[in-house]
Every structure is written in structure tokens, then in C-alpha cells.
């Protein structure tokens, strides 16, 4: 039966898998094949080097997404192989995150043993099937999209749906920044020229900030309904897009944009005081003690953000930092690389 599946897959599945990536929508920047030892999902030195070369190449490209397709050979049950493929995909995703790729660009797909490219009856064939394909994609033909797009939006209170007047909306693209102010109904509007990526940030007094990332528009108008959370005493938000070198408090360079957003938010709400809470990823473990290295790492990560914000002009008396170890993990039984990444975080809490 498995030989029949292999024969059918060899004829059809590779074309189907590639066909799931719309060639009219995307341009292939790069294709990489990573191979694994039997039963393993650990990346070896050669695979890490391939991913590093890919990330270096993407520095000069307009990235749309990275599709990760993970496969296994036929040794073991299909349930086991599905889980193994998932772990292989997560290993690749985690390595890309460490090397500076934003998680928003990563698309994980797993196929277990059901899309072999070689015969599983031989060790040589099985070795070829123990693979992860990594496709880096860019927009194929930007001319198919609209040159101009009217972006309209409304800012409201997430609790009451009341409009937020006189709030600030920043639109950032290709080194340019437009600053808008909402009207009495919380509305804003801007016609934007051709863009492939636009970041929108919304700030209102005594509210947590929000941001949206817009890609090349496929229509000539976009409407955004943005709700902001009230910045109440004790309220907290997770600071996204902050990346640390694994096992250290060293911030990776792709954290700078998020750090600057936080600093802007604090300047806009100059009367508020904050606690920065550091968290680590130790799933399926007992709470670590305060004297442990793990707990000290969570505190050191919070302090790294604290130090950065002071360098950006935020007054020290407005800030505190604290470690929480693994006491308040979002995913206490984390399985995937992305869940573990979310556990490894810093939160912002209003204390006054």
C-alpha cells in the first residue's frame, strides 16, 4: 500500500505542493532543501549555514513570506511521522526567528510521510524524504496591484466602542512618515501612493498603542477598525517583536523597531509609570526559584528593555523592571517553536 502511495506521490504531489503557492501572486526568491537524520528534528551545522545564507540573501529582497514544508520517511506510524514533521518545521522556524526573520513572514506546512520524492524501500530514498523545503517568496508582479490606495480607519475604545478623537495615527513606509489626527468621530483618511509594505501605528492618551502592517494593496481602498485598550492601573500588554539571543539577555537588532514604538508610546503618555516584566520559556517545569540562573535571565531581559528606554530619553523614575521566571507562561505546555517564542517575552504593566 505504501509503495502505491509513493508511486502516486512521486507523479503528482511535488507539483501539487508547489502549486499551492500561487505563482501569479508570488515570485520565488530562493528554494532550499534541508535534510535530517532518521527520527531527528535537530538542525545540523550545514542546515544552519544554509538558513544563514538565506537570511543574508533576503536582506536585499522584498520578502512576502517564507513557506516551510516538512516531510518524513515512512519509518514508524503515520501519527509519529506527522508529529516529527511538525517538529522539523518548528526547528527551522525557530532558527529563522533567531536569525532575525519576523514570525509574521513564516508559513508552516507539514505533510508527514505522505509526499515522498523517492522510494522509501531503500535507505538512500528514505534519506531524500527526510527533508524540509524552504521557499522564500516575493511579490511576483507589483504592477497588478493598485498604484494608489485610500486608507480610511476609525479608532475606538475597545470597552465602550466610543470614538477616540484627537488621537495620533502614524503611517510609515520606505523611510517616509505621515502623521494624521483623528476627527471627532475617531476617523482618519489618507491616500497613499504605491507601496509594498506600510506600517500604521495608533496612539491615544491613556490607551495602549496598536499597530497594523499592510501589504501591497489589491484594492483601491482599505478600511481599518482599530480598537485601543484603555491603559488602566494594573493593565498590561505583551511587547511583540522583541527578540533575544537564545539563553541570553542580548537583544537582536530586529527588535529596534518595536523598542522605538514603546518609547513613542511612553512619550505620548508622559504621566504614566510602568513595570517591565521579563518571562522565560521553561514549559512542563516547576516554577524556577528566584536565585536560579533562569529567573535571573528573565530579570536581565526586562532590564535590557529598561536600559534601552532610558537611553531613548524615558525618565528612570517612570520605569521599574522585574523578573517572573517561568511563573506566568502563556503556554505552560508549549510544544511548537512559536509557542516557546511567545513564552520568551517582556510585558508592559501600568503601575501608576
| CATH number, domain with residue 270 | 3.30.1330.60
**Residue whose cell numbers read 484594492:** 219
pLDDT given at position 14: 43
pLDDT per residue as tens digits for the range 299-313 = 999 999 999 999 999
From 228, 246, 265, the end of a domain falls on: 228
pLDDT given at position 167: 92
Specify whether 150 is located in the same domain as 138.
Answer: no
How many domains does the chain contain in total? 3
Specify whether 80 is located in the same domain as 178.
Answer: no
Give the range among 92-96, 103-107, 178-182 with minimum mean pLDDT.
103-107
DSSP-derived letter for residue 121 is: T
Specify whether 206 is located in the same domain as 244.
Answer: no
Is it the case that residue 163 has pLDDT exceeding 60? yes
Give mean pLDDT, residues 158-174: 89
Helix (H) and strand (E) counts for the chain?
A: 7, 15
pLDDT per residue as tens digits for the range 222-271 = 899 999 988 888 887 877 777 777 678 887 777 888 888 889 889 988 88
Specify whether 132 is located in the same domain as 34.
Answer: yes
User: Looking at per-residue confidence, does 284 or 343 come out higher?
Assistant: 284
Specify whether 45 is located in the same domain as 96.
Answer: yes
From 211, 228, 245, the end of a domain falls on: 228
Specify whether 104 is located in the same domain as 10.
Answer: yes
Specify whether 241 is located in the same domain as 219.
Answer: no
pLDDT given at position 152: 93
Tell me which residue range forms the domain holding 247.
236-350
Specify whether 168 is located in the same domain as 298.
Answer: no
**pLDDT band at residue 146 under the 50/70/90 scheme:** low
DSSP-derived letter for residue 163 is: B
From 228, 246, 270, the end of a domain falls on: 228
Say which CATH number the domain at 173 has: 2.60.40.10
What is the distance between the alpha carbons of residues 137 and 277, in angstroms, rounded to a whole number? 36
Specify whether 195 is located in the same domain as 122.
Answer: no
Mean pLDDT, the chain, as a whole number?
84
Give mean pLDDT, residues 60-71: 88
Q: What is the pTM of this model?
A: 0.52
pLDDT given at position 140: 61
Q: Are 183 and 114 in contact (CB under 8 A)?
A: no
Give mean pLDDT, residues 36-44: 92
Angle at 286 between CA 283 and CA 289, to 5 degrees: 115
Specify whether 295 is located in the same domain as 244.
Answer: yes
User: Looking at per-residue confidence, does 51 or 174 come out higher?
Assistant: 51
Q: Are 28 and 136 in contact (CB under 8 A)?
A: yes
pLDDT given at position 3: 39
Amino acid at each position: 500500500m505504501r509503495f502505491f502511495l509513493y508511486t502516486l506521490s512521486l507523479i503528482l504531489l511535488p507539483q501539487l505542493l508547489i502549486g499551492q503557492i500561487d505563482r501569479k501572486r508570488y515570485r520565488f526568491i530562493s528554494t532550499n532543501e534541508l535534510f535530517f537524520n532518521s527520527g531527528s528534528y535537530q538542525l545540523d551545522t550545514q542546515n544552519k549555514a544554509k538558513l544563514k545564507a538565506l537570511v543574508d540573501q533576503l536582506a536585499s529582497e522584498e520578502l512576502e513570506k517564507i513557506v516551510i514544508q516538512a516531510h518524513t520517511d515512512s519509518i514508524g506510524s503515520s501519527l509519529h511521522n506527522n508529529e516529527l514533521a511538525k517538529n522539523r518545521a518548528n526547528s527551522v522556524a525557530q532558527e529563522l526567528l533567531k536569525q532575525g526573520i519576523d514570525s509574521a513572514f513564516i508559513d508552516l506546512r507539514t505533510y508527514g510521510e505522505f509526499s515522498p520524492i523517492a522510494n522509501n524501500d531503500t535507505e538512500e530514498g528514505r534519506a531524500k524524504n527526510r527533508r524540509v523545503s524552504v521557499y522564500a517568496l516575493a511579490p511576483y508582479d507589483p504592477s497588478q496591484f493598485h498604484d494608489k490606495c485610500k486608507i480610511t480607519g476609525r479608532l475606538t475604545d475597545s470597552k465602550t466602542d466610543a470614538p477616540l478623537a484627537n488621537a495620533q495615527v502614524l503611517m510609515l513606509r520606505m523611510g517616509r512618515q505621515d502623521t494624521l489626527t483623528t476627527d471627532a468621530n475617531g476617523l482618519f483618511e489618507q491616500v497613499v501612493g504605491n507601496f509594498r509594505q506600510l506600517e500604521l501605528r495608533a496612539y491615544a492618551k491613556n490607551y495602549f498603542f496598536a499597530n497594523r502592517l499592510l501589504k501591497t494593496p489589491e484594492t483601491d481602498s482599505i478600511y481599518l477598525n482599530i480598537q485601543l485598550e484603555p491603559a488602566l492601573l494594573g493593565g498590561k500588554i505583551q511587547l511583540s517583536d522583541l527578540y533575544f539571543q537564545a539563553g541570553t539577555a542580548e537583544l537582536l537588532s530586529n527588535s529596534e523597531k518595536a523598542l522605538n514604538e514603546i518609547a513613542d508610546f511612553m512619550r505620548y503618555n508622559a504621566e504614566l509609570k510602568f513595570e517591565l516584566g521579563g518571562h522565560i520559556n521553561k514549559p512542563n517545569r516547576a516554577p524556577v526559584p528566584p536565585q536560579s540562573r533562569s529567573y535571573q535571565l528573565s530579570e536581565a531581559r526586562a532590564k535590557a528593555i529598561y536600559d534601552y528606554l532610558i537611553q531613548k530619553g524615558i525618565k528612570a523614575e517612570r520605569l521599574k523592571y522585574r523578573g517572573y521566571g517561568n511563573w506566568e507562561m502563556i503556554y505552560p505546555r508549549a510544544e511548537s517553536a512559536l509557542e516557546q517564542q511567545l513564552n520568551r517575552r517582556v510585558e508592559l504593566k501600568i503601575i501608576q
